[in-house]
Amino acid sequence: MVIWGVRDSNPLQGNSDLYLGSPGLFVNGFYDYYPLSYGEKYSNYPPENDQVINRLFDPRYLRIQIGDSDSATSFFDSKILDKNLDMQTGKLTETFEVTTPLQERFHLILESFASLADKRLYGIQYTILPLNFTGPITITKSHPAVNQLSRTSVNDVRVKESEGLLHGWPLKDTVIPAMVITTSRSQQALTAAWKLDQVNEDVQVNQLSAEVPGYQLKVAPQKNTPIQFSFMYGLSAISTNLAAADQDLLTTVAESEFQPELEHSTKKWQFFWQHSDVEIDGDPDVQNSLRFNLFQLNQSAGRDGLTNIPAKGLTGNGYGGQYFWDTEIFMLPFFIYTQPQTARKLLQFRVQTMDLAVQQARDLGFAAGATFAWRTINGREASSYWPAGLAQFHINADIAYAVDHYVTVTGDQQFLRDGGL
């Protein structure tokens, strides 16, 4: 199972340094690592640091050409007029007012959602409304840069700079544009695919070359006449087979449509709110903030027993996107009482990393027992801060407490027999 999130950003940015933004696509558990260096290194210091990938392509990206103005090579001034996240449906709606260097003005409206029904899918619908000009407009939807440019804060030590490089190649002889993306050191792979779902009848559509997969749309709209088109994206589950494409994903994306998939996802959100909403009277701001936190928790949790909850969810690479004991103490109780099957999967992550915890205890000189990692993605300790990292033995107690809490509430004795004990 793949769980991924797309960070809100300027859709015209792409890999251009003309725009001040930080686009991001984050896949839970899709990481790479790099060697840690120390002034004085001892045998039990962690050798490597896990880091969630912060360089995947931006599925929001759109290249727009109007006459001699090209958003990829010249700055298009844009300001946000409206933004709304409908937490009942999971749909984000944004309206930008955009002005080209030659003063052509248009509204760019985005409607997007990450599917809760099929977590491999992401849908985005664009509407372009010319305000003071009449076409032609050329729209390109491709992702030639695998290693997405993403600015990081130089003043926040919690935000990790991008490390390592991704490798990607287009898949040929496919019905829809697709590519395989791999990491350098962790040797993980993803298949990514996208397709044009629907478009106005008067839009000319061409597929780009096999070397740079994607679409080019051409239209000559009248002033105040909207152009609308949508795309469906898909990402496969993380694999270690670097050569193989996920054929099931290609078929699923090819058959998917924006509106039906949004409706399927909306039904999942409605079920979630029926069982998980917490109502507070008298303070609408607190109520809204609480619901947004529930929304983020539900989106970010790993549900395959191999992944957990990244430090910043699926919205950024703060703390390298690593998993902390915050899951067991602060977040797991929510799932224990509302989605016990998800709580079980989150605890299963600790079960499946037990061997590494035992090895870490031996590395620290203990003849018995285990010491779970403070910061990790793959189960090994990834913190370079000694003694803040390896000295935090309370992680063991946090996990033991969480297992007891889960079993006490659910009565799941089978989980104890399958690794909880």
DSSP state of 319: G
Which strand (E) or helix (H) includes residue 188? Answer: none
Give the Cα-Cα-Cα angle 182, 185, 187 (nearest 5 degrees). 45
Peptide bond into 59 cis (omega under 30): no
Sorted by sequence, the CB contacts under 8 Å of residue 208 that are 6+ apart come out as 140, 142, 177, 214, 215, 216
Residue 2 confidence (pLDDT): 83
DSSP state of 37: -
Give the Cα-Cα-Cα angle 71, 77, 83 (nearest 5 degrees). 105
For residues 233-260, average pLDDT: 93
Report residue 148 as tokens.
């997405």
The pLDDT-based confidence of 244 (bands split at 50, 70, 90) is confident
Residue 285 confidence (pLDDT): 96
Residue 211 confidence (pLDDT): 82
The pLDDT-based confidence of 150 (bands split at 50, 70, 90) is low
Lowest mean pLDDT among 30-44, 224-238, 357-371: 30-44
Do residues 5 and 317 make contact, with C-beta atoms less than 8 angstroms apart?
no
Do residues 78 and 10 make contact, with C-beta atoms less than 8 angstroms apart?
yes
DSSP state of 363: H
The pLDDT-based confidence of 55 (bands split at 50, 70, 90) is confident
pTM score of the predicted model:
0.93
Task: Give the Cα separation of 116 and 119 in Å (integer).
Answer: 5
The pLDDT-based confidence of 160 (bands split at 50, 70, 90) is low
Residues of the chain above pLDDT 70, percent: 95
Where would I find the beta strands (DSSP E) of 9-166?
24-27, 31-35, 48-52, 63-66, 69-70, 77-86, 91-99, 105-114, 121-130, 137-142
Report residue 279 as tokens.
């109502």
For residues 77-86, average pLDDT: 97
Residue 157 has pLDDT above 60, yes or no: no
Q: pLDDT of 3-54, one tens digit each?
A: 899 999 999 999 888 998 889 899 999 999 888 888 877 777 888 888 999 8
Mean of per-residue pLDDT scores for the chain: 92
Residue 66 confidence (pLDDT): 96
Residue 163 confidence (pLDDT): 58
In the chain, the largest separation of any two C-alpha atoms, in whole Å, equals 77
* Cα pseudo-dihedral 52, 184, 182, 33, rounded to 10: -20
